[in-house]
Amino acid sequence: MGKLTITKTPLAGILLVVPQYFKDSRGFFVESYNKKDFSHAGITDEFVQDNHSKSQKGVLRGLHYQYPHAQGKLVRVLKGSIYDVAVDIRIGSPTYGKPFAVTLRENDPAMLYIPVGFAHGFLALEDDTEVMYKVTDLYYPSGDAGLLWNDPDLNIPWPLDIIGMKEPILSEKDTKHPILSELRSPFTYV
């Protein structure tokens, strides 16, 4: 047990992580996190907090980041499905301002690893979607920041039409984030 399949994405640092998945007539078993296996795969972050959210279909959470207590994330879906998006906001990165998106689903062990330096958000594609994600620093409300989800320069193809909606359900906070051209990112590409 404990083997991971790691797939690199077009954005340096963003990884699709798939642990072994054992399924039979009784159900399934997956070891979703094993520090030793992740370290061998090159993900050496220390995760210090687990977050769990539940969202109705059409809820869009994001695009969020935190500074100065920046957070790397490991995102997985426990129930339902999400359209998960990370946007590179590292100054000097060859992919600065570029998004990467993937659909994550229950009964599929795939997870998205998002290192520090990316804004992150997701759209719930089903009612009662539950997302669990590990983070590398604690949450500090004073460091809460974001990027506007529908910035035309990002051109993120949120699949609202597929779920029969014209607009997502947003928190008030998520309607007020800056667009990329107004962003003064605290992150630098290394």
d(CA 125, CA 175) in angstroms, rounded, equals: 20
CATH number of residue 66's parent domain: 2.60.120.10
Collapsing DSSP states into helix, strand and coil, what is residue 6? strand
Residues 64, 65, 113, 177: which is the catalytic one? 64
Our count of domains for the chain comes to 1
pTM of the predicted structure, to 2 decimals: 0.95
pLDDT tens digits, residue range 96-151? 999 999 999 998 999 999 999 999 999 999 999 999 999 999 999 999 999 999 99
64: annotated active-site residue: yes
133: annotated active-site residue: yes
The pair of three-digit structure tokens given for residue 59, joined into one six-digit string: 């809820």
| Residue 167 belongs to domain spanning | 4-188
Residues 65, 83, 113, 133: which is the catalytic one? 133
Q: Do residues 18 and 7 lie in contact, with contact meaning Cβ atoms separated by under 8 Å?
A: yes
pLDDT tens digits, residue range 37-53? 999 999 999 999 999 99
